[in-house]
Every structure is written in structure tokens, then in C-alpha cells.
Amino acid sequence: MTHRRSAVRRFFDAWPPMVLMAIAWLTLMLIIALAADYIRPYDFKALDLRGRLQPPVFMGGSWRHILGSDELGRDVLSRLIESIRVSLLIALASTLIAAVVGVLLGFAAAHFRGIVEQLVQVLIDLQASMPFLIIALAVLAFFGNSLMLFVLLMGLHGWERIARISRGLAISANEQGYASAVRDLGAGPWRIYGRHILPNIAATLIVSMTLNFPEVILLESGLSFLGLGVQPPLTSLGNMVGYGREYMQTAAWILLAPAVVIIVTTLSVSILGDWLRDRLDPTLR
């Protein structure tokens, strides 16, 4: 009995309940995003003008619209499922773009040093000193808000943090014996950085990416809320919140469902990111 309690205690020491709940929620979101076409009860664009602003089941509505319907009679649950997929895809693609840009610039600064390093540092400081939301608003207002441009713009958020980390870790790795040994054997820069340095710093970069992911979700939601993000007929979590704000007094469920998903998802990613940082960052061990 004592051994069983000790095993349970060790398990929860390694996997805290909050982390397990965060992983469970993110797994659910991933399943919903991947299976959206199969689990939606209706087409997320389908209109039912006779069923406008129907309340959800828990507010006395029918099971036909479990989470109610919006101002055009569209099923809120179907739109929520599609919004989860769109928002997660945007956040994932943007985080990967930021990681690639940050790692490449960080490695370039560490390898070439001199003027290249100074230029990268200037770009990092410039990006960090300017409010990204204002930059995004200006770019989208001037160039339009196509989905491709929106994803690329979101990808420019957070790259400076990853570039700064990549540069510092790459400089440190270059000063260690294994990088010098591989270089003495005639390996080129691409092989040294791609096959030897990157795997050794991947854990720290993954932690940085998990911290960037919820920021992108919130940024996308904010821009979509302002009407500069995802455009109809597509929908996203921020898009749903933006439409729902006009009906807060009469049909709060339109806004409530996506708002809860945004809050719980960003909180879950933040919890998981903090846990990964504590587990993987060697400076915290």
C-alpha cells in the first residue's frame, strides 16, 4: 500500500494535475481540428433564418442547436468547431514561420558575426521596440487582409525572441568541443548547424515556441475581433467573438463559447510551456 502511494506521488510529481488537464484539453482541441469535417452537425455556413438566435440546450433551447444559433440562424457548435480548426492552423503555421525565421537569423548572426550580427541585432531591437498590434493593423489596412498575408504577418510575431535565443545558444555551442571537432573534419556550416547544433538546442527552442503559441492565438483573436483577421465565409474564434459582441445582451452564448475556448486554450498552452521549461531548460535544473 505504501509502495502504491509512493508510485502515485511520484507520478503526480512528474505530471502535475494541471499539466495533465492542459494536455487533455489541447489533445481534445487537436482532435476537433483534425476531425472538424466529420463531427460538425451542420455546415458552418448554412443559414436558417427561421431559427435565428435560438438559445443553447442549457438555457432551454432544443437539441437541434446544442450551443444555440447566431443572428443568421447558423449553428454555433458547427461554427465553433470550424473556428477551432482555423485558429489553431493559423497559430501553428505562424509559430512555425516565426521559429524558422528566428533560427535562421540567429544562426546567421552566430556564424558570420561582425556586420551580419550587428544587423540582426538591430532587426531584433527594432521588432521588440515596436508594438506588433500597431504594425499588423497598418499592414492589413494598407495591403488588404487575405488569409495568406494574415498568416505570414502572424509569423513575424515572436521571431525576435527565438532569434535572440538561437544566436546565444549557437555561439555557446560553437565554443564547445563537439562543434570544433566536426568543423575540423571538414563539415560545412549547414551540416554543423543542422545536424549537430540544432538538435542540442532544440529543447530550449521548443519551450520558446510553446510560449509564442498562445500569444499568436490571442493576437489572431484580437485582429479578427476588429475585423482585420479572418474574413467571411471563413470563421475563427476571434471572428465569432467579434460578431457576438453585438448580441451580448440578447444572445450572449454566441460570444461565450469561443471566448471560453480562447481562454482555456491559451491557459493550457501556457501551463504546458511553463512545465516544459522547468523540465527541459538546463539553467532551471
Q: What tens digit of pLDDT does each residue of 70-97 get? A: 888 889 999 999 999 998 998 888 889 9
Position 246: which residue type? E
| Cell reading at 80 | 465553433
Mean pLDDT, residues 12-40:
88
Position 179: which residue type? A
pLDDT value, residue 205: 82
The CA-atom distances, in angstroms, between 33 and each of 79, 89, 203, 211 are 12, 8, 26, 21
The model's confidence at residue 51, banded by pLDDT at 50, 70 and 90, is confident
Candidates 210, 203, 175, 166; CA nearest to 284 is 203
Position 6: which residue type? S
pLDDT value, residue 186: 62
pLDDT value, residue 58: 85
Mean pLDDT, residues 19-41:
92
How many angstroms separate the CA atoms of 40 and 124, rounded?
A: 43
Q: Indicate the SS3 state at residue 55.
A: coil
Is 47 a residue whose pLDDT tops 90? Answer: no
pLDDT value, residue 6: 65
The percentage of residues in the chain with a pLDDT greater than 90, rounded to a whole number, is 12
Candidates 145, 131, 44; CA nearest to 90 is 145
- Sequence-distant (6+) residues with CB within 8 A of 87 are 217, 220, 221, 236, 237, 238
Answer for the pair 66, 77: CB distance below 8 angstroms, yes or no.
Answer: yes
Is 3 a residue whose pLDDT tops 60? Answer: no
Answer for the pair 237, 219: CB distance below 8 angstroms, yes or no.
Answer: no
CATH no. for 2-284: 1.10.3720.10
pLDDT value, residue 245: 82
The percentage of residues in the chain with a pLDDT greater than 70, rounded to a whole number, is 87
Answer for the pair 201, 169: CB distance below 8 angstroms, yes or no.
Answer: yes
- Sequence-distant (6+) residues with CB within 8 A of 195 are 187
Q: Which range has highest mean pLDDT (4-18, 89-103, 125-139)?
A: 89-103
